Amino acid sequence: MEEIFVGDYVVRADRYYTKDHLWVKIRGNKATIGITDFTARALEEVDSLELPQKDIELETGDVSASIEFGDEVINIITPLSGVVIDVNKSLDEDPSELLESPYDDGWLYEIEISDTQEIEDLISAEDYAQLLSELTHEPIYEETEEELEEPLENIPDDEFYEDKP
């Protein structure tokens, strides 16, 4: 999986983003929505989490969920219109997944998209990385699995194992 790094922050290249630091992964006419690595690190802990009810219809701009931490509440604004078809119930039992694995186990909810034209209003991973770089003043670099594996293949065995007895 290709990832873009902005300093230490991870931006997954296989999804869209919002300026409110949400990610949206599109599969056909379905969209899974979650918070970004940037948001997860800013929160540090979650006191409570309110997710949308299954089968409700959301319009772009509706408050779909909320995250309470300390004395503050972050409202999650739905980036696409549609009907909620799934909610990550595991976050009720362990809301720390939201912070520890925001792109995988920490997803919030999934909708069936009612207006696919709204996808055009989302921003690409590259554009989100640029926005994040401007916000954090951190550099951008990309890394793929192939790039990670290649250097190990190029290291001669005698150098790779020199610390081994």
**pLDDT tens per residue, range 59-106:** 999 999 999 998 999 999 999 999 999 999 999 888 999 999 999 999
More confident residue, 55 or 144: 55
**Residue 165 is assigned to a structural domain of this protein:** no
Q: Mean of the pLDDT values across residues 124-141? A: 96
Specify the number of domains making up the chain: 1
Q: What is the pLDDT of residue 1?
A: 65
In a domain, 52, yes or no: yes
CB atoms within 10 A of CB 164: 5
Residue 113 falls inside a structural domain:
yes
pTM of the model: 0.85
pLDDT for the residue numbered 70: 87
- The sheet that has 140-143: what strands, in order across it? 9-12, 3-6, 140-143
In the numeric block, which tokens belong to residue 147? 């790039």
Domain encompassing residue 145: 3-160
Better pLDDT: 149 or 19? 19
Q: Is residue 150 part of a domain?
A: yes
Q: What is the CATH number of the domain that holds 69?
A: 2.40.50.100
